[in-house]
Structure 1
Amino acid sequence: MGAAVLTVRCVECGADLPTGSGRGRPRRYCSRRCQARAYRRRREHGPATVPRHIPDLPAPTGGDPRDRLVGLAVELADAGGLDAVSMRALAQRAAMPAHAVYRHVRNRAELLGAMAERITATSTPRAAPLPREPRQQLERLAGDEWAMYRRHPWLLAVLATDRPPIGPAVLAMVDRVVAAFTSAGFDPAEAFRAYLVLSGYIQGMALLIRRDRADTTYPAWSSATRSRLERTGRTRTRPWLAAAGRTSPDTDLDTWFRFGLGGLLDGLLTDPARYGGGRAQTGEDH
């Protein structure tokens, strides 16, 4: 009989990998990509960082195969971040051969677009109708987008690019915000620009959302950084640094978001005509 082949998991993404006959140094990563990610994490956060653990997820059964694969990919991303989503990992979780996965999803880019479409379609709009006032509409819609990134932090990397996926649900999300700005007095071109400003603010704040909830290194980093700043005297002439030391994204991020959103909408909605295209300027209401 041949030598028994043991199966272990990649320490980075959790994928199964054979160790061979036991000769030589055992493998720890399923690919060079996972090895490079682990190296970057150690370099940025130090050797104490615990690799992300991807929990075992049940293989999907029943229903449309593509829909099931997209749903499972969302679960993978929610559990381990966007780096945990690969065609190989998806095939393994779905208990399917890789070539079967490619029959339903052509490549990873298409998969990520379908994941974004799934989240956007199921997250908005709310059952309750939008308020009548444009300001309140924009507050609601901004809160909906913010909540998406809160629930699915990986989604930011998919949507906040110069080539975002453009599916019906993503376009409908933009439609609602542009319509609210149009109701406030912007012409279509300026309404879209105002949307970009608002979405840019939301996505910028979303960069502060913790990507890996299992990562426990942030408190240690924050404490060490604050101590170093105090020790070097950099807080003496900067009251804001002392105040910042009493806050944390883990507890105050939603408050920060609402504070900035209020100021941004105050500025945008004070006088739409000053941006060069409002209906008050063009006379469309007369």
Structure 2
Amino acid sequence: MLGVRCVECEAELPVGSGRGRPRRYCSRRCQARAYRRRREHGPTSTPRRLRDLPAPTGGDPRQRLVALAIELADAGGLDAVSMRVLAQRAGLPAHAVYRHVRNRADLLAAMAEQITATSAPGSAPLPRDPRQRLERLAGDEWAMYRHHPWLLAVLATDRPPTGPAVLAMVDRVVAAFTSAGYDPAEAFRAYLALSGYVQGMALLIRSDPVDATYHAWWSATRRRLERTGRTRERQWLAAAGQSRPDTDLDTWFQFGLRGLLDGLLHGPAR
């Protein structure tokens, strides 16, 4: 007999009593996600299905769960990561997950820590020149958000995780600004300016590049702007209509990065 599954995340649902309406969602989180999807994309939209992920085996249990949570987030965003779904995909009872992960906040922090640790420069030496080093480090952070768009919501907050790998990422940028002549306090402010730019641009990264609803929205918006004459006297808007984030975003990022570093390295602000 086939088990009943959540219509949003496909996690297996517990067997009901047989009375009343059948259960459709595994949690309030999935129910709320389904509501937001129908509100934003219409009642006929379908959920973004998570591919079947094998239960992790071998190694440290906490690290296995964190790795599986990262796969869930990469496939369906942070909304797809819940302790219930993680336990179901890992083939564990829910209470067993809490032996290794205190709560969802602890899980998200561990996910960010693992991503930043594996995205570190590694054995390849960083350039000695401060500008080249900062270009490399900014590009590394940008690549993290490109590969894991959900990571932005974990790191870009007033209460970010402070694990060793996350702090080491900040250390490298602060050290580069210090070598350019900034004192430690100013170097940290310069880090905030640089990382703030990277994270701000990362807001334009779409978690699902093949989402047809975006292309339909942009086509309809561009036609409406042209029809109402709003592009006629705005050359920048007409030019923007010829570019697309999914193909031009890296070019936009590099353009802004060059200008920002020109200003930050022209001379430390006193």
Letter in structure 2 aligned against 1:13: C
Aligned length: 270
In the alignment, does 2:135 pair up with 1:164? Answer: no
- The answer on whether the counterparts of 1:50 and 1:215 sit within 8 Å (CA) in structure 2 is no
| Equivalent residue in structure 1 for 2:206, among 190, 210, 230 | 210
- The answer on whether the counterparts of 1:159 and 1:165 sit within 8 Å (CA) in structure 2 is yes
CA distance in 1, matches of 2:110, 2:86: 14
- The answer on whether the counterparts of 1:19 and 1:27 sit within 8 Å (CA) in structure 2 is no
CA distance in 1, matches of 2:108, 2:123: 26
CA distance in 2, matches of 1:202, 1:189: 20
- CA separation of 1:47 and 1:28: change in aligned 2, threshold 3 A: same
Percent of residue pairs bearing the same amino acid type? 82
- The answer on whether the counterparts of 1:52 and 1:214 sit within 8 Å (CA) in structure 2 is no
| Equivalent residue in structure 2 for 1:29, among 21, 25, 28 | 25
Letter in structure 1 aligned against 2:228: T
| Equivalent residue in structure 2 for 1:38, among 18, 31, 34 | 34
| Equivalent residue in structure 2 for 1:73, among 55, 69, 72 | 69
In structure 1, the gaps of 5 or more residues are 277-286
Give the TM-score of the pair, scaled to structure 2: 0.96
- The answer on whether the counterparts of 2:29 and 2:79 sit within 8 Å (CA) in structure 1 is no
Corresponding residue number in structure 2 for 1:224: 220
CA distance in 2, matches of 1:28, 1:249: 36
Corresponding residue number in structure 2 for 1:192: 188
Corresponding residue number in structure 1 for 2:240: 244
In structure 2, the gaps of 5 or more residues are none
Q: Which moved more, 1:58-67 or 1:13-22?
A: 13-22
Structure 1 residue matching 2:4: 3-state secondary structure: strand
Give the TM-score of the pair, scaled to structure 1: 0.90
- The answer on whether the counterparts of 2:38 and 2:45 sit within 8 Å (CA) in structure 1 is yes
Letter in structure 2 aligned against 1:189: A
CA distance in 2, matches of 1:241, 1:47: 32
CA distance in 2, matches of 1:224, 1:7: 42
CA distance in 2, matches of 1:148, 1:64: 24
Q: Pairwise mapping of residues 19-168 of structure 1 onto structure 2 (< 5 A)?
A: 20=16, 25-168=21-164
Q: C-alpha root-mean-square deviation of aligned residues, in Å?
A: 1.5
- The answer on whether the counterparts of 1:81 and 1:212 sit within 8 Å (CA) in structure 2 is no
CA distance in 2, matches of 1:16, 1:76: 16
**What displacement does 1:11 show?**
2.1
- The answer on whether the counterparts of 2:209 and 2:246 sit within 8 Å (CA) in structure 1 is no
Q: Pairwise mapping of residues 251-262 of structure 1 onto structure 2 (< 5 A)?
A: 251-262=247-258
- The answer on whether the counterparts of 1:153 and 1:211 sit within 8 Å (CA) in structure 2 is yes
- CA separation of 1:7 and 1:41: change in aligned 2, threshold 3 A: same
